[in-house]
Amino acid sequence: MFIKKLFLGFLVGTLALSRQIAPAQGFVNLGFEHTTLTEFLVNDYTGYYATNATVPGWDWAPYQTFGFGDPYTTVTLNNIALDSAAVTLHGANDYTPALIGKYSIMLQGGSRYAYGNSYAAIWQTGQIPSTAISLIYWGGVLQVTFNGQQLSFSDISDTPHYSIWAADISALAGQTGQLLFTAPWLTTAMLDNIQFSSSPVPEPSAFTLFSCGSVLIFLMTRLMAPSSTPVFPVSPAKPTLPKASCGRDSHTTA
């Protein structure tokens, strides 16, 4: 009996110790590719179905599925809010297609008809890799924080549909905390392909540098070019004519 209690005590202590020394979990599903889809019949007459999707590893706000399914465990697939704030998932074949792969997240902060303090956000708690130097994501302009600390992002490349953003997080490497992406009121942005990189923040792309250089050369050329406005000779001053008499004419009768 004593040995059994001793063994159970040793087992409990070992489990508790293993929990304390277990490594913190890294961030998951950074490309939003892992999901489970569920369809809901919306209209029997038209046969219209709404589809909801899970976003494993992430939490979000506001909880909004436009009345279909569980808003606390799923988001709406391939749908957007008209005015309210919303977090939605979009596939490659949607009219607002995924930026890369099968799915991307859209954050809608709400239109001018929504409450002024509305916003859309998605977040996850995890450990930044110890080798991470920069954080990269694809999408639009978003407010990004880690454990409440604002991260400063630079636009390192642009495409017709999205930009690539990068921030220096070398001082945060190995830390555990909440990574939060927010679209404030009156803003909407896509989000995808979040990466922790062991490379420094990349320099702007060659295309971006070429474009900026071309604009700069054009402006300098315009400023340095001689004026094309013709110079005309100054006309001689006109002679001053005597003022006309204000008296009566000589033929006027009394």
- Answer whether residue 139 is part of any domain: yes
| Distance in angstroms (rounded) separating the CA atoms of residues 47 and 34 | 27
pLDDT at 198 over 60: yes
| Distance in angstroms (rounded) separating the CA atoms of residues 135 and 123 | 15
- Answer whether residue 72 is part of any domain: yes
- Answer whether residue 6 is part of any domain: no
Domains in the chain, number: 1
Query: Domain holding 173: CATH number?
Result: 2.60.120.200
Do residues 104 and 65 lie in contact, with contact meaning Cβ atoms separated by under 8 Å?
no
Tell me the per-residue pLDDT of 177-188, one tens digit each, with 9 for 90 and over. 999 999 999 999
- Answer whether residue 60 is part of any domain: yes
Q: Is 222 helix (H, G, I), strand (E, B) or coil?
A: helix
- Answer whether residue 120 is part of any domain: yes
Tell me the per-residue pLDDT of 134-184, one tens digit each, with 9 for 90 and over. 999 999 999 999 999 999 999 999 999 999 999 999 999 999 999 999 999
**What is the pLDDT confidence band of residue 129, given thresholds at 50, 70 and 90?**
very high
| Distance in angstroms (rounded) separating the CA atoms of residues 141 and 236 | 63
Helix intervals (H) in the chain: 2-21, 206-224
Helix (H) or strand (E) run with residue 124 in it: strand 119-127
Q: Is 147 helix (H, G, I), strand (E, B) or coil?
A: coil
Beta-sheet strand order (sheet of 153-158): 37-43, 48-53, 75-77, 86-91, 103-108, 188-197, 134-139, 163-168, 153-158
Confidence (pLDDT) at 232: 41
- Answer whether residue 226 is part of any domain: no
Q: Model pTM?
A: 0.73
- Answer whether residue 247 is part of any domain: no
- Answer whether residue 201 is part of any domain: yes
Confidence (pLDDT) at 226: 56
Which of 207, 206, 199 minimizes the C-alpha distance to 136? 199
Confidence (pLDDT) at 239: 47
Confidence (pLDDT) at 252: 42
Confidence (pLDDT) at 204: 67
Domain hosting residue 45, numbered range: 25-206
